[in-house]
Amino acid sequence: MRDFYNIIVVGGGHAGVEASFAAQKFGIDVALITRTADSIGRMSCNPSVGGLAKSRVVREVDAMGGIIGAAADMSAIQYRVLNRRKGPAVQATRAQCDRNGYERAVQKLLRENSTVEIVEDSVKALLWHGGKVVGVRLSAGTEIGADAVILTTGTFLGGKIFIGEKGFLAGRIGEDAEAGLSDSLKEMGLKLLRFKTGTPPRIDGRTVNYEKVQIQAGEKDYVPFSFETMNIMSVEQQKPCYITHTNEKTHDLIRENLLLSALYGGKIVGIGPRYCPSIEVKVEKFPQHKSHIVFLEPEGENSYELYPNGISNSLPEEIQIEMLHSISGLENVEMTRPGYAVEYDVIDPIQALPTLNIRAFDNLFLAGQILGTSGYEEAAGLGLLAGTNAALNVLQKKMITLPRHLSYIGVMVDDLVYRGADEPYRLLTGRAEYRLLLREDNAWLSVLEAIPKDVLKILSPNMHEKFIEWRDKMRNLTIFFDNKGFSRAEAEELHIANGTIAGKYLRRPDADWESVEAMFPKLAELNAVPAATFRVEMKYSGYIERQMRDVRQFEKMGSIEIPDDLDYFAIGLRREAFEKFNKFSPRNIGEASRIAGISPSDIAVLIGAIQKKFHNKQLG
């Protein structure tokens, strides 16, 4: 361990791994300080990666040279494609992984492909001077200097676990909470919030009655998460999941014991995720639902433990056992570990900038759960961005931001820093206004557009040239088909008019792609990834163009700059708008309009004032 690094990343979870991996690619010294090296990349909850919106983040991270996609592929035991029959904007790949295998894969990828120095210790305080962080203090009081620090401490700051009426300090079951760091952050003047999340009990799969549950096999027709993964698993190589349901008996039991749960017994003050409620909340808030689905998901290739997805709770252990026994197929099941809720400190994300550094300390970056999110994918996406920007900051280069229409990471960052979080933030497709532009298949193309060439070359040297080649081939094919009329024989085979322009035909929803592919071997020149993108972009070109028009319109208005010397007080804004603009100092109309609580009429007042100022300047 040295006494100075360019960048110190605190915490080796999903955010810290991507942050340190991305940062070291810029040729600077990076230390990852984390409690124990063997918990790097640990999955705190369900060992699964992907799902709606999240799978696109995994592909964005992979396209930018990150780790999560490759690690998920290396440890996957089952793949499924959600919403296969629905439109491309909501299709999503989800992998069930081997919990230990995932951890091992992350550690291997980090160890073998990076210069990150791993330091096993706890960071107890940040060292700061004026508006700069200058280093960290470790558990034994040792101080290490840094040009920039990235905090990715997950659920550990002030972590407290609850199981029924029992409450004890911990960040994850079996791992101590972090006590000192929250105080240090408060001393720096940062505002902390208190959130909570939870996990279900685990069960012994050997004690499940499989005759009473429904099997859910894996799928073979999927695209792996990483662009570099070649192997496709057959259905036989994959492990099945199972489905069962809660019932009225389960719900009655939960209702009867509601006050014994930590959540309803008044023990927990932190706010939980609305979109991933515990079973107590589901039963209490939706009494009209007589049953809730429970997925029984394997914890690993050789593990007999199952993760009953859908029944996270903070009830006493004995009630958890009774609850499990009330569910079909689980009547005699053995609980291997109780479920629990965990409450922890997060830094209010509105204190951060879209580059993920803190407004008040421009070399302190945040990513993952500490920034108010929940989920491995969210943490990985933020980690990669924080690591990249911390490195660019250290090198005194322009930091990057990711536009909402090109990146779900961009959507998440924008939501967090301009709207804040009043509960653990999870990505959902509904959070994106340009969903059709944020599909799983085109993450590579978006990344190519979103990131400056020199930065992408550093982050993703293996893929950068390939993406350019794919994009150019797609462009050439579009030009070719837009200028190609079908011959009589071709038109007859496709049952269309002679001379029909191929590009027009391929944009029809009923186009027979298989026949066209057989007619034009050029199409087969595309690798499977750009081929899928090309197909969707042709088929949905009308809708995509409409969304792009909206993007351009918004960008045009959004790019109007707000003069630094505009006096918000003097232009007749509502009090809330005046306060928010003063607090966030938006650089342009786009940023101003995304701030929570700002209405279209506030924006109209702002534009009017900018126009007037411009006009007066011209006259003067």
Binding mask 313-342 for ligand FAD (x = CB under 6 A): -----------------------------x
590 binds ligand FAD (CB under 6 A): no
Binding mask 32-51 for ligand FAD (x = CB under 6 A): -xxx---x----xxx-----
CA quadruple 522, 527, 528, 534: dihedral sign: negative
56 binds ligand FAD (CB under 6 A): no
**415 contact partners, CB below 8 Å, separation of at least 6:** 421, 425, 431
CA distances to 250, 461, 463, 483 from 470, rounded to whole Å, are 53, 15, 10, 20
Residue closer to ligand FAD by CB (options 183, 449) is 183
8 A C-beta contact, residue 324 and residue 333 = yes
429 binds ligand FAD (CB under 6 A): no
16 binds ligand FAD (CB under 6 A): yes
Q: Give first-to-last CA distance, the chain, whole Å.
A: 61
Pairing of strands 143-151, 364-366: parallel
Residue closer to ligand FAD by CB (options 371, 544) is 371
Our CA angle for 586, 592, 595, nearest 5°, is 105
* DSSP states along 352-394: B-TTSBBSSSTTEEE-GGGGTB-SHHHHHHHHHHHHHHHHHHH
379 binds ligand FAD (CB under 6 A): yes
Among 9, 11, 335, 537, binds ligand FAD (CB under 6 A): 11
Distance of closest approach, residue 344 Cβ to ligand FAD, in angstroms: 8
277 binds ligand FAD (CB under 6 A): no
Among 91, 153, 320, 533, binds ligand FAD (CB under 6 A): 153
HSE value, Cβ hemisphere, 13 Å, CA-based, for 462: 11
Binding mask 173-212 for ligand FAD (x = CB under 6 A): -----x--x---------------xxx-------------
Residue closer to ligand FAD by CB (options 77, 181) is 181
Our CA angle for 19, 72, 386, nearest 5°, is 15
Q: List phi, psi (to 5°) of 353.
A: -100, 165
Residue closer to ligand FAD by CB (options 294, 606) is 294
* Number of chain residues interacting with ligand FAD (CB under 6 A): 35
Burial class, 613, CB count within 10 angstroms (exposed 0-12 / middle 13-18 / buried 19+): middle
Scanning 60-68, 142-150, 367-375, 396-404 for contacts with ligand FAD by CB under 6 A, the matching segment is: 367-375
Residue closer to ligand FAD by CB (options 34, 533) is 34
Residue closer to ligand FAD by CB (options 314, 407) is 314
Residue closer to ligand FAD by CB (options 122, 388) is 122
Euclidean distance between CA atoms 472 and 516, whole angstroms: 20
Residue 375: left (phi > 0), alpha (psi -120 to 50), or beta? left
20 binds ligand FAD (CB under 6 A): no
Residue closer to ligand FAD by CB (options 122, 244) is 122
Distance of closest approach, residue 18 Cβ to ligand FAD, in angstroms: 8
Among 5, 9, 13, 24, binds ligand FAD (CB under 6 A): 13
Residue identified by tokens 């558990």 is 139
Among 9, 15, 106, 330, binds ligand FAD (CB under 6 A): 15
Instruction: Look up residue 418 and give its DSSP letter.
Output: I
For residue 620, give the 3-state DSSP assignment.
coil
Burial class, 166, CB count within 10 angstroms (exposed 0-12 / middle 13-18 / buried 19+): middle
Distance of closest approach, residue 368 Cβ to ligand FAD, in angstroms: 2
Binding mask 116-135 for ligand FAD (x = CB under 6 A): ------xx------------
Write the single-letter amino acid at 565.
Answer: D
- Per CB under 6 A, residues contacting ligand FAD are 10-16, 33-35, 39, 44-46, 122-123, 152-156, 172, 178, 181, 197-199, 276, 342, 368-369, 374-376, 379
